[in-house]
Amino acid sequence: MRKSLIVISGPSGAGKTTIIKRILSDPELKDKIMFSVSHTTRKKRKGEKEGEDYFFVSEKEFREMIEKGEFLEWAEVHGNLYGTHKNNIEKAEEENKILLLDIDVQGAEKIREKMKEKAVFVFIRPSSIEELKKRLISRGDTPEKEIEKRIKDAQKEIEEEKKFDFVIINDNLEHAVNKLKEIAKKVISENQK
Ligand code: ADP
Ligand code: 5GP
């Protein structure tokens, strides 16, 4: 079965965004992969760009989109709402690209229920919770209270990793990037057969 989706999940601070940005700027991959820009009710962090990192919307707008059935999947994560718009899938199909999703474990479960055969599931985490905490603190854009919530949620999220096709331990960034590159190249080459 040809795969057209790569679903990335993992606890907050694992390095998902960092690794994904490297994949999306890789000369061999960047024309073949599209990032699924999610909608969220979370506040924009410094440096984040509307339409590039997320579409930032109010809770009212988000709830209206749920009502209209616009999301392929959505979930409440660490106290905010996040969702994948159905347009993202359509756009990737039109452009004949692999869609790369950075979604939480609940979102990954929904994709498993709806279109498991089309997706490859990758879980990313560092080898310890202490390292996660260190990374969230050093990233410097998340209030302390929220870091505590994210660390608490991380314990439960990590229990889900056995449901994923691949687990990447991001202790060494270069190794982790290379592993995801290998997976992405395999998905692309199978898709082109
Ligand atoms: P996520 O998207 O999973 O929440 P980020 O990509 O924002 O995580 O990474 C969290 C922080 O950890 C960032 O400051 C990032 O630079 C840093 N980081 C990412 N990978 C590593 C690594 N392998 N070693 C040390 N720090 C890392
Ligand atoms: P952050 O606030 O750190 O950008 O993301 C928090 C969490 O929300 C991460 O686990 C991320 O994967 C998840 N997330 C981002 N977009 C979506 C989405 O569209 N759907 C779901 N279910 N989770 C998402």
What are the extents of the domains in the chain?
Answer: 5-191
Provide the edge-to-edge strand list for the sheet that holds 71-77.
54-56, 38-40, 80-85, 71-77
Q: Count the alpha carbons within 13 Å of 138 in the hemisphere toward its beta carbon.
A: 9
How many angstroms is it from 2 CA to the middle of ligand 1? 31
pLDDT at residue 31 in the model: 96
Q: Which residues line ligand 1 (CB under 6 A)?
A: 10, 12-18, 135, 138-139, 170-173
How many angstroms is it from 103 CA to the middle of ligand 2? 5
Query: For 44-59, how does the pLDDT look when each residue is reduced to its tens digit (9 = 90+)?
Result: 999 999 999 999 999 9
The CATH superfamily holding the domain 5-191 is: P-loop containing nucleotide triphosphate hydrolases (3.40.50.300)
Whose alpha carbon is nearest atom 21 of ligand 2?
103
pLDDT at residue 39 in the model: 98
Q: Relative to the CA of 170, which ligand 1 atom is closest?
A: 23
Whose alpha carbon is nearest atom 5 of ligand 1?
15
Ligand showing the shortest atom-to-Cα distance for residue 105: 2
pLDDT at residue 192 in the model: 82
pLDDT at residue 193 in the model: 79
pLDDT at residue 16 in the model: 98
How many angstroms is it from 80 CA to the middle of ligand 1? 21
pLDDT at residue 1 in the model: 66
For the chain, residues with pLDDT lower than 50 are none
Whether 107 is in the pocket of ligand 2, judged by its Cβ within 6 Å, is: yes
pTM, rounded to two decimals: 0.97
